[in-house]
A and B are shown apart, each in its own frame.
Chain A
């Protein structure tokens, strides 16, 4: 249980185009989803937190107009990188926190997706 999927797993796009990444919780409902960015050999950096039906909360330094987040349902959140440039190339990972903590599970527990590798040419 507690599976999170991401689509696509990798994408290559031209500079100036927009790219949408989907994050789905497959077997649970997620009140909160998180979007992270990870550069090679570095840690995960939180970009934004999204709650179903409300606007995302962005971390300091993250441009909300460039990284559009939509949390349309309790199982789907999308990240759109608008007007992508080579410096946006990175590994984007989402995570989801279940609506209710399961037996033996912690309320704070987050389940991560497999990540999306974005390369902007």
Chain B
């Protein structure tokens, strides 16, 4: 019940296109859903996060769509650029003393010219 399933495993998008990565969770106690970007040999960096009280959140070219009833959330990267080529992880946690993050398996995005 602690799993977060992420798809696709890898994604190739042309420059200027839209990259879409999907995640699904099982634990209904989760109430915080962040997305992280990781470049090779670096630690993850927070991109954007959402709570279940909203269905969509946008920050620049990055948008999270959240479907509470389906227990799914997705990351959309608009106008994808070669510099966006990285591995993206979704995660989930529940508010509390520990607030441990459960990570998805990751999506390797390649944006081609």
Contacts and interface: CB of A to CB of B under 8 A. Distances in A.
Interface of A: 4, 6, 32, 34, 41-44, 46, 49, 57, 91, 93, 95, 97, 106-115, 117
A114 B42 contact: yes
A43 B103 contact: yes
Contacts of A91: 41
Contacts of B103: 43-44
A97 B46 contact: no
Given A44-B89, A108-B95, A49 B41 contact: no
B28 to A, nearest CB: 16
Please provide the 8 A-B residue pairs with the shortest distance between their CB atoms, ordered closest to farther. Answer: A112-B43, A108-B32, A108-B99, A115-B43, A114-B43, A43-B103, A112-B44, A44-B103
B45 interface: yes
Interface of B is mostly: loop
Given A106-B51, A109-B46, A112-B44, A42 B106 contact: yes
A115 B42 contact: yes
B110 to A, nearest CB: 14
B95 A107 contact: yes
Interface of B: 32, 34, 36, 41-46, 49, 51, 89, 93, 95, 97-101, 103-106, 108
B41 A107 contact: no
Residue of B44, B45, B49, B98 most packed against chain A (CB within 10 A): B44
Given A44-B44, A115-B42, 20 more contacts: A4-B43, A32-B97, A43-B106, A49-B100, A57-B98, A91-B41, A97-B99, A106-B49, A106-B51, A107-B95, A107-B99, A108-B95, A109-B34, A111-B46, A112-B45, A113-B43, A114-B42, A114-B43, A115-B43, A117-B41
Contact of B98 (A32, A44, A113, A117): A32
A43 B104 CA distance: 7
Contacts of B51: 106
Contacts of A4: 43
B79 to A, nearest CB: 24
Contacts of A97: 99
Nearest to B4: A43
B99 A32 contact: yes
